[in-house]
Structure 1
Amino acid sequence: MRGNSIPHVLGMGLLLLTIACLLPTPTESYAIGQSKFGRIEKFPYQVMLIGKQLWRKRILCGGTLLDRRWVLTAGHCTMGVTHFDVYLGTKSVEDTEQLGGLVLRSNKFIVHERFNPETAANDIALVKLPRDIAFTARIQPAALPTRFRHDQFAGLSVVASGWGAMVEMTNSDSMQYTELKVISNAECAQEYDVVTSGVICAKGLKDETVCTGDSGGPLVLKDTQMVVGITSFGPADGCETNIPGGFTRVTHYLDWIESKIGGQRHHQHHPYGSDNLI
């Protein structure tokens, strides 16, 4: 799995997970390691964002549906973007109509006021949909953690999903997912010098990881639809490693999210059972 927009390699060996998305072109391989292809019914909160940049390139990012009007994503996914084509309820661009998915165009998004692309600090943004959407079996919001749940999640299993690829994606590339384990920020800080209280890190048992194209996508607690992370950064020397991925820690930004979308949220969630994910 990976992320989009122009890759930004930082001095500390950190890569914001965004890539140019030129559709259609051949795809050869993916960087999610031991990933599996996912059915959108198991990830109804997963959103695909194809952003149009000022210099006429398109970028691929993921997002998490929060309610009928708002999508959570990474701040760096908005860099240079004039508008997004937002795909909901589909596992690929090609299958959107067949699966009863939805495509909306949005030019309204809010980036954290203190987002810093050089350090990936405050790497969070919200995309506002042009109208309220109807929920279906394939389009459902994720749950935010409660503001009283500020535990670190270290040692817990989580699931990352997205369309990240090592090369440009095609219309038929399907969503993938993988299971990771949250590590402590102290352990993660041994790999990156940008780890703060606003970051949560997770790594795979083998070579599983997020990578270019997965930016902005959800990290949820396994067997739930509770989003605890937003895919943000990974190792600059390649994603086929066992180096942890960095995610924006959602619990750290609950007040910020609430201040932007407030009472406009519609709480309507479908519970997940143990067979819903891995």
Structure 2
Amino acid sequence: MKVFLTILALAVASASAYESVVHPKDLSKVAKIEGRITNGYPAEEGKAPYTVGLGFSGGWWCGGSIISNEWVLTAEHCIGGDAVTVYFGATWRTNAQFTHWVGSGNFITHGSADIALIRIPHVDFWHMVNKVELPSYNDRYNDYNEWWAVACGWGGTYDGSPLPDYLQCVDLQIIHNSECASYYGTGTVGDNIICVRVVDGKGTCGGDSGGPLVTHDGSKLVGVTNWVSGAGCQAGHPAGFQRVTYHLDWIRDHTGIAYY
């Protein structure tokens, strides 16, 4: 019994050594709707036409990615309320090319992973509003280690800043899950997670929840913004995303979208 208790104590001590994480949506709010890319750069018109803003009826803001004429991919922790207003083709957040109101009957949550789908009215594509492709099934085992990717969203440039309404993007490097797990533990960083380095305070934060992580090479959607370090967005610790390749079957089963 003493041996068991010693092992248990060591396990608890080891677990407590890992950092906590927080959903960007749940960070403390400032006077305006919170949501930010920290230390990124303003996006020119049409840079990320697949990025949408999601204004939920409960009053919070998230991001999402257009993956077809009728579907948006986002984070499950964003989903809630009776409806969402989807902002399409916005560079200035409140000046979208157009918006659609979508009732909660069109929300599909995963249940065991922080990823969700929203069925949208059919939208036509052009240079300001377009889809992003998912990885193909041939790439389902690609871990994308050390690949560069871009994340985009609306928000401030530092912890605690108010929301500047202009779309921001930031270039981030994907890291091996073992490096990420050294901060947060394997209980947080499972096979369904993909992480990026946060260098010089550059990363995701606030209402960037649910937004896209898209590779520079090939422009494939590989991540859905999930969490940042509980120490803050600019603490220099990795940020986590749902790994899209892990969910290709789930996405296909609900939407019919797949790349072979």
TM-score, scaled to structure 1: 0.78
Task: Give the distance between the partners of 1:221 and 1:251, measured in 2 at CA.
Answer: 13
Q: Which residue of 1 aligns with 2:150?
A: 159
The answer to whether the 8 A contact 1:20-1:59 is kept is no
Note the 1:169-180 alignment, pairs <5 A: 173-180=165-172
Correspondent of 2:176 among 184, 197, 205: 184
The answer to whether the 8 A contact 1:19-1:60 is kept is no
Task: Give the distance between the partners of 1:246 and 1:71, measured in 2 at CA.
Answer: 20
Q: Which residue of 2 aligns with 1:254?
A: 248
After superposition, the Cα gap between the structure-2 partners of 1:132 and 1:42, relative to the gap in structure 1 and judged at 3 Å, is same
1:105 maps to 2:101: yes
- SS state at 1:260 partner: helix
After superposition, the Cα gap between the structure-2 partners of 1:21 and 1:225, relative to the gap in structure 1 and judged at 3 Å, is farther
Note the 1:215-254 alignment, pairs <5 A: 215-254=209-248
Note the 1:122-137 alignment, pairs <5 A: 122-129=113-120, 131-137=121-127
Task: Give the distance between the partners of 1:221 and 1:181, measured in 2 at CA.
Answer: 9
Aligned residue identity for 1:209? G
**How far is the alpha carbon of 1:33 from its aligned partner?**
3.6
Q: Which residue of 1 aligns with 2:9?
A: none
**How far is the alpha carbon of 1:12 from its aligned partner?**
4.7
Q: Which residue of 1 aligns with 2:199?
A: 205
- Pick the structure with more helix per residue: 2
After superposition, the Cα gap between the structure-2 partners of 1:109 and 1:73, relative to the gap in structure 1 and judged at 3 Å, is same
- SS state at 1:255 partner: helix
- Output the aligned Cα RMSD: 2.5
**How far is the alpha carbon of 1:132 from its aligned partner?**
0.8
The answer to whether the 8 A contact 1:20-1:60 is kept is no
Task: Give the distance between the partners of 1:35 and 1:230, measured in 2 at CA.
Answer: 18
**How far is the alpha carbon of 1:34 from its aligned partner?**
2.9
**How far is the alpha carbon of 1:60 from its aligned partner?**
0.6
The answer to whether the 8 A contact 2:134-2:221 is kept is yes
- SS state at 2:203 partner: coil
Task: Give the distance between the partners of 2:76 and 2:244, measured in 1 at CA.
Answer: 13
The Cα offsets for residues 42-75 of structure 1, whole Å up to 9 and x where unpaired, read as: 101001001112xxxx111000000111000001
1:68 maps to 2:64: no
TM-score, scaled to structure 2: 0.83
After superposition, the Cα gap between the structure-2 partners of 1:63 and 1:112, relative to the gap in structure 1 and judged at 3 Å, is same
Note the 1:143-154 alignment, pairs <5 A: 143-149=133-139, 150-154=141-145
After superposition, the Cα gap between the structure-2 partners of 1:206 and 1:261, relative to the gap in structure 1 and judged at 3 Å, is same
After superposition, the Cα gap between the structure-2 partners of 1:20 and 1:92, relative to the gap in structure 1 and judged at 3 Å, is farther
After superposition, the Cα gap between the structure-2 partners of 1:88 and 1:224, relative to the gap in structure 1 and judged at 3 Å, is farther
Q: Which residue of 2 aligns with 1:119?
A: none
For structure 2, the residue ranges without an aligned partner over 5 or more in a row are 1-17
The answer to whether the 8 A contact 1:163-1:176 is kept is yes
The answer to whether the 8 A contact 1:47-1:88 is kept is yes
Aligned residue identity for 1:142? V
Report sequence identity in percent.
31
Note the 1:46-65 alignment, pairs <5 A: 46-53=51-58, 58-65=59-66
After superposition, the Cα gap between the structure-2 partners of 1:168 and 1:61, relative to the gap in structure 1 and judged at 3 Å, is farther
**How far is the alpha carbon of 1:203 from its aligned partner?**
1.3
Note the 1:108-123 alignment, pairs <5 A: 108-114=106-112, 122-123=113-114
Task: Give the distance between the partners of 1:48 and 1:21, measured in 2 at CA.
Answer: 19
Task: Give the distance between the partners of 1:87 and 1:46, measured in 2 at CA.
Answer: 9
The Cα offsets for residues 252-277 of structure 1, whole Å up to 9 and x where unpaired, read as: 000000000016x8x9xxxxxxxxxx
1:138 maps to 2:136: no
- SS state at 2:174 partner: strand
